[in-house]
Each structure stands twice: as C-alpha cells, then as structure tokens.
Amino acid sequence: MQNVKEYISQHKDRFINELIELLKIPSVSADPAYNQDVLNTADAVKESLEKAGCDKVEICETPGYPIVYGEKIIDPNLPTVLVYGHYDVQPADPIELWDSPAFEPVIKKTDIHPEGAIFARGACDDKGQMYMHVKALEYMTSTGNLPCNVKFMIEGEEEVGSESLAWFVPRNKEKLANDVILISDTGMIANDIPSITTGLRGLSYVEVEVTGPNRDLHSGLYGGAVANPINILTQMIASLHDENNHITIPGFYDKVEELSREERDEMAKAPFSLEEYKAALDIEEVHGETGYTTNERNSIRPTLDVNGIWGGYTGEGAKTVIASKAYAKISMRLVPGQEWEEITELFKKHFESIAPKSVKVVVKPHHGGQGYVTPIDSIGYQAASKAYEETFGVTPIPQRSGGSIPIVALFEQELKSKTILMGFGLNSDAIHSPNEHFGVWNYLKGIETIPHFYKHFTELSK
C-alpha cells in the first residue's frame, strides 16, 4: 500500500491544477447574475467525486441551489464519515482591490506561504478546503486505504445562509446517516501551531430602515427642523454599546454561557502575540468588551457590528440634502446558550423602542443560526488530534473560533452526530476579502492529514 506522502508528491501538480480549474468558475451564490456558474460548479464537483471513487454521486435538487451528494459504502458494519463543504463563494467585491482577478487563480509566494499560495476567491473558503477531501478520497480509494464508509454533502448556499440545506437535511436523514461529520471550512493558528476548531459562533443578521420626511429635502430649508434619518440612525446604532463596549439590548446576555476561570486560563495558553496581531492589521490599539482578552472577544463573547450603512448622497462632489431614508445591515455573533431567533426578536423590540417619534423604524430579520461547541473527549476529536500529531509532529490545540457555520447546529439536531472541524486555513488568508488565498503547503497538508483521521476514527470506533 502506497503511503499518502508518496502519493501526494507524485500527484501534487495535478491536485493543484484541478483546484485551479474549479476556482475559475465564479460560483457567487449571493448574486443571481452568476446563477449558471453556481450550477456549473455543482456539476464540476459531481464529476470530481465520481473520479475520486464514489460509487454513487447525485445532484440533489432543492428549492435553491443543488446539493452534491456522493458516497462510497464499503461495509455497512463499518463507521461512516459524512464530509460537508460548500462550493459557493463570497462575491469578489471590491474587485479593484484585488492584485490579480478573483477568478483567474495565480500562485504567488508570500512571507507566510514561502512555498506559494493560490490567490482566488474561494481558494480557502471553501473550494480549496473542500477539494482536499476529494483528493484524500482519491488517494484512499485508489491505493486500497479507505478504512470505512464515506458520504459527501457539498452545498451551494453556505455564504447566503444554507436555507436549502436546512430544507434538505431533515428530508434525507436516512441517506445522511453517519457516525461523525467532518468539515474543513475553518482555520488553524499557524502552520507550525496546528489547532482544531472546537466552537463556532451563532449569528443573527438584520437590516434596519429609518424613514424621516416623505421625500429628500433641501438641507438648508429644512435642516435643523426635521429629523435627519442618517443622524438618528447613527445615534441609535451608537447607543447599542455602552462605555465598556457591552451591548445594551435588554436581555442580550441573559443566556450567555460564561466560561470558568479554568477554561479561560486554558484558552489563554494558546500562542498569541498582540503586537503581531496589531501590526498585521495596521492598528495602534485593539478594541472590545472590557474584562476580556482579544481572543476571548473574538470567540467566546457575543458581538454586534454594523456590516454596511447607507443613505443620502454618496456620489461625486457635494449635494445639500436631508435624505428621506437611512439603512444599515447589522450582524450579531452569538455564543452557546443564546437562541438566534430570540436575539433577533430582542434586537427588533429594543431598536423600535429607542426610535424617536420623529422617524419610523422597520427591522427586517435576515438569516441566522445557532453557535456550536464540540467536546474534546469524543472519538472524533481524538481521531483528529492523532491525525495532526502524525502529520504535523505536534499535538493540535483546541480553539474556539469566532466565525459561523450555522448549519452545524442543525446537523447535530437532525442527524444526532458531532462535527469535527479540521480547518487548514490561516487568518491571514483573507477569506471574504480581496486577495483571498490558500497556501499550497496547507492544501497538501490537509490532503495528507485527512486519511489519518479516517484510519484513527475507524480504529477508535471498534
């Protein structure tokens, strides 16, 4: 039996080229203009799973974008790993900030990736990380190293809230039955400090609309005498945090699970340099909730952030106007204990209650999802930990992430299995930003590590 390192060194150019081909398709789920590209990407994923040795591969239709399902069942008595990933990507905007076009992948060396990184939208989130699993499967099936059953479920709406997958999962429990769910759609601390993500934050996303006068007004003739919705909106938003950067929505923290001092001390052991963090972002000082460290603020604490705000005149030059309307998109990252629908309701009630009579306020809820924490004593976690030990030579650190994959909580609820988050991206890979990239080393290391997970998971399941 050929070992995975040899297999990778023989096939790595092809592995890289295949990923580059997949990255050329602009599968932007948020923008209907890319509808056909998203569908073409699903077909490309289907074909790749067939080539990698799945026995059955299907494009499963949903009310939205299809889910690509594939399986290789070698023995019903053996455990089954369900791999989840997404083939859709974030919009490339603002495109003028990319050094090379977002859908024309190029490999360039960086300080952090001296062996080169693939620059393209979706390189890390999540096409590159999803494709590691396809190539790991190819290795296992073509060399007789697949120790258990495997199912793939790759969706096309993760970046827009996974609505169709939430529809699909409860309707296909039998098909999706598994012993563990494996996802590579997160990150790790550094290439020499591997970590396994043990938590994800939940999310509540809302849009607000503030209406003042029934039309845009001359800011001289009316200024000072009627409410300016942009002024009011910004005051309302500013009041959502107090001087300690606590969120002021009544009831917001009621169900937050506080970590014990011991758990926080354990977390603080993860290597982290505040100086490097600030330097990487070009900021003089960090910012956040009093009483918590930077790593706590971005993982175990809930937040509220404006993601976009608009209204009035934003074109060239100056126009003297009081706009009739102002808008903002606001995300709240939630932690275990908080129910996203309840938080959305609390936000709505509070935001409406603080609006002065001079304006009308409408709060429109968007999508959301629950947070997730995975125990580190499960066999899934142990198998992942051993896999990293073998390929990185050190024990990975468990770490809660600030990002969200809202569908993970639903997997647990519907399929009753734990999710293991084996992410190989780095924070500096710029996911959702211009110049997103994924280290070639990280891509190949992922392909190398995944088969070890299968082996250990099968062993530990006995």
Q: Which of 64, 66, 147, 161 binds ligand BES (CB under 6 A)?
A: 161
Rounded least distance, CB 406 to ligand BES, Å: 5
Count of residues binding ligand BES (CB under 6 A)? 16
Identify which of residues 38 and 236 has a Cβ nearer to ligand BES in the complex: 38
267 binds, among ligand BES, Mn ion, none (CB under 5 to 8 A by kind): none
What whole-number distance in Å separates Cα of residue 352 and Cα of residue 31?
30
* Contacted by 299, from Mn ion, ligand BES, none: CB < 5 to 8 Å by type: none
- Residue number, 148 or 181, with CB nearest to ligand BES: 181
Closest to Mn ion by CB, 18 vs 125, is 125
By CB under 6 A, name the one of 125, 157, 429, 448 that touches ligand BES. 125
Cβ proximity to Mn ion, 18 vs 126, nearer residue: 126
Q: Which C-beta is closer to ligand BES: that of 333 or that of 456? A: 333
In whole angstroms, how close is the CB of 242 to ligand BES at the nearest point? 25
The minimum distance between CB 137 and ligand BES, in angstroms, equals: 21
Distance CA 161, CA 63 (A): 14
- For tokens 């024990």, the residue is 395
The catalytic residues are 88, 158
Residues in 351-410 at the binding interface with ligand BES, rule: CB under 6 A: 367, 401, 403-406
Phi, psi of 334 (to 5 degrees): -115, 160
Q: Which residues pair with 332 in a beta bridge?
A: 204, 304
> Could you tell me the two tokens for 162?
């996974």
Token pair, residue 410, equals 């639903």
Q: What does 116-160 look like in DSSP terms, one character per residue?
A: -EEESTTTTTTHHHHHHHHHHHHHHHHTT---SEEEEEEES-GGG
Site for ligand BES contains 88 (CB under 6 A): no
436 binds ligand BES (CB under 6 A): no
**Residue 242 exposure: Cα atoms within 13 Å on the Cβ side:** 7
Bridge partners, residue 182, by sequence:
83, 420
149: partner contacted, choices ligand BES, Mn ion, none (Cβ within 5-8 A by kind)? none
Based on CB atoms, which residue is closest to ligand BES, 322 or 421? 421
Q: Pick from 185, 429, 436, 448: which binds ligand BES (CB under 6 A)? A: 185
Closest to Mn ion by CB, 249 or 407: 407
Q: Which does 403 bind (CB under 5 to 8 A by kind): ligand BES, Mn ion, none?
A: ligand BES
**Strand (E) positions, 201-324?**
202-211, 217-218, 303-311, 321-322
- In the list Mn ion, ligand BES, none, the entry touching 406 (Cβ below 5 to 8 angstroms by class) is ligand BES
Per CB under 6 A, which region of 179-187, 233-241, 278-286, 356-364 contacts ligand BES? 179-187
CB of 25 to ligand BES, least distance (A): 17
Pairing of strands 372-373, 195-200: antiparallel
Residue 373 contacts by C-beta under 8 Å, 6 or more apart in sequence?
198, 199, 336, 400
Torsion angle of alpha carbons 443, 185, 188, 367, nearest 10°? 150
User: Which residue stretch of 46-54, 154-162, 172-180, 298-306 sits at the interface with ligand BES (rule: CB under 6 A)?
Assistant: 154-162
Closest CA to 406 of 252, 219, 202: 202
Pair of tokens at residue 372: 């997730």
Alpha helix ranges (H) inside 24-58: 35-51
| Site residues for Mn ion per CB under 5 A | 125-126, 185
**Cis before 105 (ω within 30):** no
* Torsion (CA) 382, 383, 385, 390 in degrees, nearest 10: 140
State the residues that interact with ligand BES by CB under 6 A: 125-126, 158-159, 161, 185-187, 200, 203, 367, 401, 403-406
